[in-house]
Structure 1
C-alpha cells in the first residue's frame, strides 16, 4: 500500500472518535509477507505446497479485515470481535505452517509478520472489550 494511503488511514479524520485504532502498517506488512511467501513456496514446488495456501488465506483474511476496519459505519463490536478472531486464527495457522520451514528465510519472515499481526489483533480485541 502506498505511503499516501497509509497516511490517510492514520489521519485522525479516518478514525472513529473514542474507538481503538489498529496498526494498519503491521497488517499490511503481514499481507505483503504472506504474498511473498506464497510466491516463494509455489516456486519451490512440492516441498512447500502446504505453506502456499496458508499464506494466501492469511493474506486474504488480513486484507478483508483491513478493508472492514476502514469502514466508518456498520461494524458492531461483536462483528469486529468475530473478524479479529478469524484474522488471529488465520495468522496462527500460517505462522505454524511457516515455522515448519525454519530453514527458509522467506517463511521465517512471514511467520514473524504473522506473529506481529496476531499481537496487534489481540491488542485490538482487548481495547474493544475494555
Structure 2
C-alpha cells in the first residue's frame, strides 16, 4: 500500500485508540518489504543462514500485511507484532553476519534497517498511547 492510499484510509480503519503517523508506518512497511526481498535472495544462495532468512522474510511479509489492515488491531497486539519482527530480523542478521558473504551482508543491512523502522513505529505508538 502506498503513502497515498494510507493517507486516504478512513479513520475507522485505523488502529483503535492510536494516532498513527502514516509516514512512520509507510517507512516501516517499506523496510519490511526490502528486508523480505533481501532475505529471499539470501536464502536462495543456499548458505547456512537460509532458514533464518526465510523465517525473517515470512515475518516481514506478515508485519506488512498487519500494518496494511489495522482495523481491529489493538496497539498492544501491534507492538507485539513489531517486537516479533525485530526479534526475527535480529536472528537473521546474526546468522547472515556469521557467513561473511556479500549477499548475506546486504541481507543483514536490510534486517538492521527493518529493525530500526519497526522500533521507530513502536516508539511512535508508545508516545501516542
Q: TM-score range by the shorter chain?
A: 0.7 to 0.9
Secondary structure of residue in 2 paired with 1:100 = helix
Residue equivalent to 2:66: 68
Give the conservation status (yes or no) of the 8 Å contact 1:14–1:70: no
Mark the runs of 5 or more structure 2 residues left unpaired by the alignment. Answer: none
Aligned partners of 2:107, 2:115: CA distance in 1, in Å? 12
Residue equivalent to 1:45: none
Give the number of the structure with larger relative contact order, counting CA–CA contacts within 8 Å between residues 6 or more apart. 2
- The count of corresponding residues between Structure 1 and Structure 2 is 117
Residue equivalent to 1:80: 78
Q: Does 1:13 align with 2:8?
A: yes
Aligned-residue Cα RMSD (Å) equals 1.8
Change (3 A) 1:14 1:34: farther
Q: Does 1:126 align with 2:127?
A: no
Deviation at 1:7, TM superposition (A): 5.3
Deviation per residue, 1:28-66 (Å, 9 max, x gap) = 1100000000001x2xxxxx33x0000000000000010
Q: Which runs of 4+ in 1 moved over 6 A?
A: none
Deviation per residue, 1:94-128 (Å, 9 max, x gap) = 000000012x1100000000000000000111000
